[in-house]
């Protein structure tokens, strides 16, 4: 994995600091050209990994990148699934089976037959495989070295003790997409223990890492001990703790932790992107 990963929250009205800023960003990025302008800048300054949700509009971005392979040579996308709002809205509007039918790729009749049996038998792993295929359709032909399970699912399954699902997800994306599985969580210590219990060694985990322990269950000290153990490849997110930690202070803390493989950040202006990249490079222990 690259040291610096660029995220997509700012493009789709997600701002942990301000709802007003989120609305303003949503208006600014309502056109795909505006998103591509930022991604072009990100690429040109040397950030080559875009960690993104499977929001419907990401398909437009994928189309642009596919159409210009020379322009985006070496550009990698890390899909994060599922995009919960999309499924919630579809199920509420259509019901479970009709929502599956709408989203399944390929041979719809055959897929629905499989999906129908899966629902009837509560075959959650079978449903997972179908929906991974559906989500990955937009990324056809693009580099997707790591495929992530979003924390809304990761932590739900973790809390329910359904940890066999994690190994099944890892096996499926490796065998069908030649990709590693990644897991986004709000509970690093518990998830790592669960993954290791199912034979997933040195897993990729994206989690909150920041100086004040924001969204770090068990406390900062427990996280620091887990990071230092070197048992997993950690992607640090929410490094600013929703704006509670100044950028320089935040990056100095996160980049100084040996055991953190990558830092994920999002920004909507070129100046903030450049500044964040330079701080990560300056403070990284291996930089």
Cα–Cα dist 27/11, whole Å: 9
- Whether 268 shows a pLDDT value over 50: the answer reads yes
> Which residues span the domain enclosing 246?
35-84+143-283
Cα–Cα dist 39/49, whole Å: 10
pLDDT higher at 87 or 230: 230
Q: What is the pLDDT of residues 178-227, one digit of tens each?
A: 999 999 999 999 999 999 999 999 999 999 999 999 999 999 999 999 99
- Whether 287 shows a pLDDT value over 50: the answer reads no
CB 144 within 8 A of CB 177: yes
Question: pLDDT band at residue 15, thresholds of 50, 70 and 90?
Answer: low
Does residue 23 lie in a domain region? no
Question: pLDDT band at residue 14, thresholds of 50, 70 and 90?
Answer: low
Does residue 248 lie in a domain region? yes
Q: Which H helix or E strand runs over 262?
A: strand 260-265
Does residue 197 lie in a domain region? yes
- Whether 138 shows a pLDDT value over 70: the answer reads yes
First to last CA, the chain: 15
Of 107-116, 162-171, 231-240, 249-258, give the lowest mean pLDDT range. Answer: 107-116
Question: pLDDT band at residue 93, thresholds of 50, 70 and 90?
Answer: confident
Does residue 138 lie in a domain region? no
Q: What is the pLDDT of residues 148-182, one digit of tens each?
A: 999 999 999 999 999 999 999 999 999 999 999 99
> In angstroms, how far is CA 145 from the centroid of its own chain?
12
Q: Per the structure block, which two tokens stand in for 221?
A: 């000290």
- List all residues 6 or more positions away from 61 whose beta carbon is below 8 Å from its beta carbon: 32, 35, 36, 39, 52
For tokens 């959650």, name the residue: 124
Does residue 201 lie in a domain region? yes
CB 5 within 8 A of CB 264: yes
- Mean pLDDT over 259-270 rounds to 96
What's the total number of domains in the chain?
1
Q: Return the pLDDT at 109.
A: 42
Q: Return the pLDDT at 114.
A: 55
Does residue 199 lie in a domain region? yes
CB 237 within 8 A of CB 208: yes
Q: Per the structure block, which two tokens stand in for 206?
A: 């994206």
Q: Per the structure block, which two tokens stand in for 43?
A: 């690429």
Q: Return the pLDDT at 26.
A: 73
Cα–Cα dist 124/149, whole Å: 14
Question: pLDDT band at residue 132, thresholds of 50, 70 and 90?
Answer: very high
Instruction: Compute the mean pLDDT over every residue in the chain, rounded to the nearest whole number.
Output: 89
Does residue 92 lie in a domain region? no
Q: Which of 150, 30, 145, 169 is nearest to 87 (CA)?
A: 150
CB 57 within 8 A of CB 8: no
Region label for 41, one of left (φ > 0), alpha (ψ between -120 and 50) or beta (otherwise)? alpha
Q: Per the structure block, which two tokens stand in for 8?
A: 């997509």
Does residue 129 lie in a domain region? no
Cα–Cα dist 118/71, whole Å: 42
CB neighbourhood size of 20 (10 A): 9
Q: What is the pLDDT of residues 100-111, one digit of tens each?
A: 666 665 554 455
CATH number for the domain that contains residue 235: 3.20.20.100
- How would you classify the pairing of strands 233-237 and 204-208? parallel
Cα–Cα dist 175/102, whole Å: 25
């Amino acid at each position: 994995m690259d040291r610096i990963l660029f995220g997509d929250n700012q493009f789709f009205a997600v701002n942990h600091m301000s709802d007003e800023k989120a609305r303003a960003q949503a208006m600014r990025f309502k056109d795909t050209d505006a998103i591509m302008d930022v991604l072009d800048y990100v690429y040109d300054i040397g950030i080559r990994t875009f960690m993104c949700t499977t929001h419907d509009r990401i398909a437009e971005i994928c189309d642009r990148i596919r159409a210009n392979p020379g322009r985006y040579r070496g550009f990698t996308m890390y899909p994060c699934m599922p995009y919960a709002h999309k499924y919630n809205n579809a199920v509420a509007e259509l019901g479970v089976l009709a929502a599956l039918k709408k989203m399944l790729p390929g041979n719809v009749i055959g897929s629905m037959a499989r999906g129908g049996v899966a629902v009837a038998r509560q075959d959650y792993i079978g449903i997972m495989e179908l929906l991974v295929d559906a989500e990955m359709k937009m990324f056809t032909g693009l580099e997707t070295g790591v495929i992530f399970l979003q924390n809304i699912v990761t932590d739900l399954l973790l809390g329910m003790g359904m940890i066999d699902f994690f190994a099944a997800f890892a096996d499926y994306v490796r065998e069908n997409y030649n990709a590693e599985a990644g897991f986004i969580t709000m509970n690093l210590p518990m998830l790592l223990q669960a993954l290791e219990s199912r034979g997933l060694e040195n897993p990729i985990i994206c989690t909150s890492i920041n100086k004040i322990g924001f969204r770090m269950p068990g406390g900062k000290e427990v996280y620091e001990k887990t990071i230092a153990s070197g048992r997993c490849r950690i992607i640090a997110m929410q490094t600013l703790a929703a704006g509670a930690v100044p950028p320089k202070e935040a990056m100095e803390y996160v980049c100084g932790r040996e055991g953190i493989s990558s830092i994920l950040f999002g920004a909507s202006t070129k100046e903030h992107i450049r500044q964040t990249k330079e701080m990560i490079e300056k403070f990284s222990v291996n930089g």
